[in-house]
Amino acid sequence: MVVIQYSVSVPNGQHLNNRVLRIRLAAEDNQAPSIEDSIGIMGFSETRLNNLMV
């Protein structure tokens, strides 16, 4: 698993701090790997995208 923490500046001058991107590569029995990630702000609910094929 790779965890990336970053901040974003938006056009109105505000900053979105403590952004987190988690990526996990998973493969089973000679199948193509899938990417399972979650994108969210630390401490808040996260959006999950599962089984995005590469």
26 neighbors 33 (Cβ within 8 angstroms): yes
CA dist 53 to 20, 38, 43, Å?
21, 15, 28
Range of the domain at 36: 2-53
Q: pLDDT tier at 3 (50, 70, 90 boundaries)?
A: confident
pLDDT (0 to 100) of residue 54? 35
Count of structural domains within the chain: 1
Span 13-47, pLDDT tens digits: 888 888 888 887 777 777 776 666 555 444 433 34
